[in-house]
């Protein structure tokens, strides 16, 4: 029997059973084979010149950041600007910034998967990658900010040399467990989702090295019905676990601040505050990452459709509005509490030495996302890119504002102070940016940036349906 | 079309000297594969495996595969994680080295302070169980497989919906099954032999 590609033949029109038509997952009626080629071609093609240039730049930033960390470890935390009363400064600011960015990646892939928002399928892999890399960047800080890094094992659940155990009621210890489990779970979620796609790369590999490398990491995946059965179950379970974990981790990170009695931190709204801020900054980050990719690889334009980007913009708008609500509520609460310290902290925030970054944060976060009410703005992708970067800048300033402006102005005027970053602070922060983008560039180059199997499974005509083709009893079972 | 004729012209993958592993075939649509599974089951064939580039709705039901036990394993992993996390915190805090801060209780009365770590560890161990469970239940890691002897399959399994009927099946018969697969619209019907080991 000759084998013309009937797979493409099944893509022809079939009766539309949906009452409300979804926007197409992949534009231009592309078939499963096209999806495979489009996604694999990014990995299989010759390494483009821009990639070398980009990774040289980000790698240098990361190396400088690494050198700064080494210098800090050898010399002491005095090389940072953190000092009494502001013992937490850029270290915790950046930790919260990165870990928050990670949250949106998990939410986009896990929560939207659980709620069957199919539009997120083509961006979920990149979102998960963003999560893993952002947690790696976040993880840089907690370990080094303790000063004497070689005592980091005091945080592990083992007795120290005096026979003392860590204080399990401390939110800082909860943080260790939360971030460790978050990194583990999101890495597993990312890797497990990739196994079938890595097997596709293994099958298509032309060189021995690639065949071997992809062969090892794909663990011998064959796509048998039994494997898919367990795989689908695992995916649902992991999505469920990850969704809960995201909320837990943000809550715990927020508790670092909220369980203290410092005015400006001691608020029950903090977990929600951090959560919405996280999804807000993460949605902005995913737009910042995907829009250039779409420009560089034209084949992705059919896979990351304007309609999907539009939905991410709407998510950004919704979360931006929640963030605005929290800002207003925080100010209202400070006034309504009639607590002079609480009022003083917020008054100082907008009039004192921290005013410039508090005002930067508010002016960006209260206005920029509101522009996404307009369809013309959401559809103008260069503008979306710029606004998304602005949102992330705004969020960084928000974290900075929360951490430093609160610490520099608590109860006693004698313990008020100020914070000025040093060059080591700045280079370490840009170093984490370097680490993040270096990892993301490696991700683009070596693994499929989209979940091919998930995309193929929802393309029109790729699933057996009753009433189409055969009318035997097996198709009835599919419903 | 005689059986004898088909038997002669069956393409062979792998080494002919090695024992026959399975009869492989390729379908072009998922419907055809699901239909073929139904027919094979009617014929009493039970040792077969389907290979698809993405999960096919209804295929596992047609193959009468049981529900994955993974959810049970994850439940077990989660419950044991709760116990591990609670004892990891309560035993040091209450028995080995009670760290009294402000005279606050450390025992079960203070349960809320132990909850964050319990939740974090439960989710982590649950996820580890889910992934290792999926890998092991799916027969992985396994880097060699007789199916890789079949070039068409090994080179690009995403190009179609494959089935392999193992030679050790009780009702296995190359000729009858070849004819049946032809009738079901399968293409590239191939006898997959194991590959000659390199030591020989």
Q: From B106, which residue of chain A is nearest by alpha-carbon distance?
A: A169
**Centroid of chain to Cα A60:** 23
pLDDT > 50? residue B3 = no
Which of chain B's residues have a Cβ under 8 Å away from the Cβ of A106?
none
Predicted local confidence at residue A7, as pLDDT: 46
Predicted local confidence at residue A387, as pLDDT: 94
Least trusted range by pLDDT, from A169-173, A211-215, A227-231, A287-291: A169-173
Sequence-distant (6+) residues with CB within 8 A of A204 are A40, A44, B155, B156
**How far apart are alpha carbons A163 and A74 in whole angstroms?**
28
Span A49-77, average pLDDT = 93
Q: Please spell the DSSP secondary structure of A170-214, one letter per residue.
A: -HHHHHHHHHHHHHHHHHHHHHHHHHHHHHHHHHH--SHHHHHHH
pLDDT one-digit tens code per residue, A183-222: 899 899 899 989 999 998 888 888 889 889 998 998 988 8
ipTM: 0.88
**How far apart are alpha carbons A461 and A146 in whole angstroms?**
56
pLDDT > 80? residue A260 = yes
Sequence-distant (6+) residues with CB within 8 A of A229 are B60, B65, B68
Calculate helix-pair angle for A306-336, A355-367, nearest 10 degrees: 130
Span B53-82, average pLDDT = 88
Which of chain A's residues have a Cβ under 8 Å away from the Cβ of B101?
167, 169
Per-residue confidence band for A478, with pLDDT thresholds at 50, 70 and 90: very low
pLDDT one-digit tens code per residue, A123-152: 888 888 999 999 999 888 888 888 888 888
pLDDT > 90? residue A85 = no
Predicted local confidence at residue A4, as pLDDT: 44
Judge whether A436 is closer than 8 Å to chain B, CB to CB. Answer: no
More confident residue, A472 or A408: A408
Which of chain B's residues have a Cβ under 8 Å away from the Cβ of A475?
31, 34, 58
More confident residue, A460 or A215: A215
pLDDT one-digit tens code per residue, A332-366: 988 998 888 888 888 888 888 888 888 999 999 99
Least trusted range by pLDDT, from A389-398, A423-432, B43-52: B43-52
Judge whether A14 is closer than 8 Å to chain B, CB to CB. Answer: no
Taking an 8 Å cut-off on Cβ atoms, the answer to whether B114 and A168 are in contact is: yes
pLDDT > 50? residue A45 = yes
More confident residue, B171 or A106: A106
Q: pTM, whole model, 2 decimals?
A: 0.86
Q: Which of B61, B72, B130 to mutate to test the interface with A (most CBs of A within 10 A)?
A: B130
The B residues from 139 to 168 touching A (CB cutoff 8 Å) are 139-145, 147, 154-160
Q: Which residue in this structure is represented by tokens 């099954």?
A: B177
């Amino acid at each position: 029997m000759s084998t013309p590609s009937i797979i493409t033949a099944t893509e022809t029109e079939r009766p539309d059973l949906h009452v409300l038509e979804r926007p197409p997952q992949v534009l231009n009626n592309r078939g499963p084979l096209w999806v495979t080629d489009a996604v694999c071609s990014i990995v299989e093609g010759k390494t483009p010149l821009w990639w070398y240039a980009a990774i040289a730049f980000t790698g240098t930033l990361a190396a400088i950041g690494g050198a700064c960390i080494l210098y800090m470890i050898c010399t002491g935390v005095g090389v940072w600007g953190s000092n009494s009363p502001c013992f937490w400064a850029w270290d915790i600011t950046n930790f919260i910034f990165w870990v928050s960015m990670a949250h949106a990646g998990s939410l986009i892939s896990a929560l939207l998967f659980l709620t069957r928002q199919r539009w997120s399928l083509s961006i979920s892999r990149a979102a998960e990658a963003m999560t893993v890399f952002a947690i790696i960047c976040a993880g840089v800080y907690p370990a080094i900010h303790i000063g004497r890094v070689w005592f980091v094992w005091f945080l592990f659940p083992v007795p120290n040399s005096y026979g003392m155990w860590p204080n399990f009621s401390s939110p800082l210890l909860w943080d260790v467990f939360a971030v460790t489990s978050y990194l583990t779970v999101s890495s597993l979620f990312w890797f497990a989702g990739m196994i079938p796609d890595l097997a596709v790369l293994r099958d298509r590999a032309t060189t021995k090295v690639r065949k071997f490398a992809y062969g090892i990491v794909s663990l011998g995946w064959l796509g048998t019905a039994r494997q898919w059965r367990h795989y689908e179950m695992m995916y649902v379970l992991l999505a469920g676990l990850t969704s809960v974990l995201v909320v837990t981790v943000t809550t715990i990170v927020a508790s670092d601040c909220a369980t203290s009695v410092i005015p400006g931190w001691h608020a029950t709204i903090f977990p929600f505050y951090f959560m919405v801020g996280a999804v807000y900054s993460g949605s902005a980050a995913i737009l910042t990452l995907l829009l250039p990719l779409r420009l560089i690889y034209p084949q992705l334009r059919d896979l990351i459709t304007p309609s999907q980007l539009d939905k991410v913009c709407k998510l950004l708008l919704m979360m931006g509005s929640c963030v605005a609500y929290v800002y207003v509520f925080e100010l209202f609460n400070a006034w309504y509490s009639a607590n002079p310290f609480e009022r003083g902290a917020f008054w100082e925030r907008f009039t004192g030495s921290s005013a410039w970054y508090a005002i930067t944060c508010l002016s960006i976060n209260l206005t920029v996302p509101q522009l996404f009410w307009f369809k013309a703005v959401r559809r103008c992708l260069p503008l979306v890119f710029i606004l998304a970067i602005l949102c992330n800048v705004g969020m960084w300033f928000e974290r900075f504002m929360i951490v430093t402006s609160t610490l520099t102005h608590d109860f006693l005027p004698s313990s008020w102070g100020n914070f000025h970053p040093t060059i080591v602070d700045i280079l370490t922060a840009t170093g984490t940016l370097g680490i993040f983008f270096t990892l993301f560039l490696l991700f683009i180059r070596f693994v499929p940036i989209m979940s091919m199997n998930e995309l193929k499974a929802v393309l029109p005509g790729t699933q057996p349906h009753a009433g189409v083709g055969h009318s035997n009893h097996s198709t009835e079972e599919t419903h | 079309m005689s059986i004898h004729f088909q038997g002669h012209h069956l393409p062979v993958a792998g080494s002919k000297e090695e024992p026959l592993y399975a009869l492989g075939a390729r379908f072009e649509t998922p419907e055809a594969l699901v239909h073929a599974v139904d027919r094979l089951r009617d014929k009493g064939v039970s040792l077969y495996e389907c290979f698809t580039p993405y999960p096919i709705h209804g295929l596992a039901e047609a193959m009468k595969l049981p529900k994955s036990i993974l959810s049970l394993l994850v439940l077990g992993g989660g419950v044991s994680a709760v116990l591990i996390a609670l004892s990891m915190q309560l035993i040091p805090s209450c028995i080995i080295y009670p760290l009294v801060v402000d005279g606050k209780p450390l025992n079960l009365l203070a349960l809320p302070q132990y909850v964050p770590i319990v939740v974090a560890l439960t989710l982590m161990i649950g996820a580890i169980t889910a992934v290792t469970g999926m890998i092991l239940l799916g027969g992985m890691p396994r880097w060699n497989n007789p199916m890789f002897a079949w070039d068409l399959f090994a080179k690009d399994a995403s190009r179609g919906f494959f089935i392999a009927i193992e030679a050790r099946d009780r009702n296995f018969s190359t000729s009858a099954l070849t004819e049946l697969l032809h009738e079901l619209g399968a293409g590239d019907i191939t006898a997959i032999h194991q590959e000659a080991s390199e030591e020989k």
